Structure 1
Amino acid sequence: MNVLFVALGGTRRPAVVRESARVVADGGEAAVLVGASSAWAREPLPDGVDTVELPALERRYRPAAVRIPLYRIPRLLVRACLPGPLRGLGDRIDGAYRRRVARPVDRMLARLYRRDPAAVRRRVVDREVLRRRSVDLVVVGDPQSLATASELAGVIAGAGARLAYSIAHERPRAGYAGG
């Protein structure tokens, strides 16, 4: 079972560490969505547990309508026009293009596509975390994450994952006919 722990505040670190270790010991995969990885420096996560920083994902977010024409097409053109031994020159040209053209244009456009931070958060979590890792269960790890988890409830349900407050809630009790 793939489990995502949402622990943006990091106030219940020992519980998240304990439950993520249990998931990995049972043969599943675990990831922890954190607000800042520096908050987890004193209590490191067990081996096999990935840490994903939500603010870093939000900063890197670009819609495909910006990413493809601004970054991918120029890189493909440079690689097609300067193959083989000219690859080093192509890499320098690509770096200069990104530094002088793509990044300034991206910063100007960022005001438009990052206007709604909640929509950016939903898209980033859906694309980069839930779909890429095929998450089955999302566990809210601390009280600070409740607002974000409720904001993402539609995205979580759309990805086929369930929302819980502990991994103990992963299966219904005997005799419980959920529906």
Structure 2
Amino acid sequence: MDAINQVFALFRINYHNQYYAAFKDNELLNQARRLWLNSLAQFAPETILRGARKVIEESEYLPTLNRMIRACQGDPEKFGLLDAHAAYVEACRAPSPKSAHHWSHPAVYHAGCASDWYFLMTNPEKVAFPIFERHYLKLCERVMNGAELPAPNVQLLPETIETPLTKEENLKRMEALRKQLDL
């Protein structure tokens, strides 16, 4: 709520005449604030304020709610992020093991993990993409707010490979174990 109030204060200062023409009375202003609060609830307060500053810098007109939502979503390309559909395609086409693949950004890998790789492979795009997109956009917002996502954890092969014991060695170890446990 504080972020929305700060945004409207910024708009009042920057778009003075347009602001007072759009919000002639307090009832209309309060309705607009409630609408914006509900529509921008998915974004962190810092993201909302960053979006407001971006709108003020780029536009000489009071922004619509749609324009504000797009500004809050930010420009993923500045952070090395793909658009959601391109990320989905990359996730679906990545070979196994997924953690060893060279990802365009760790957010794609983590969105794939959150969506479940098997689910992505076995369902049509119209079912799987919305799930992947939701996870990916949340991760993108975290990245654009300064979060560092860890790189995929690549499991390395062991340093030494042990050979299985022979039947006689297994019997000797079993006997020693029985003696140790008094069985």
Short-chain TM bin: under 0.3
Q: Per residue, is there more strand in 1 or in 2?
A: 1
Superposition TM-score, scaled by structure 1 size: 0.24
Question: Greater relative contact order (Cα 8 A, min sep 6): structure 1 or 2?
Answer: 1
Superposition TM-score, scaled by structure 2 size: 0.23
Q: Per residue, is there more helix in 1 or in 2?
A: 2
Max Rg structure: 2
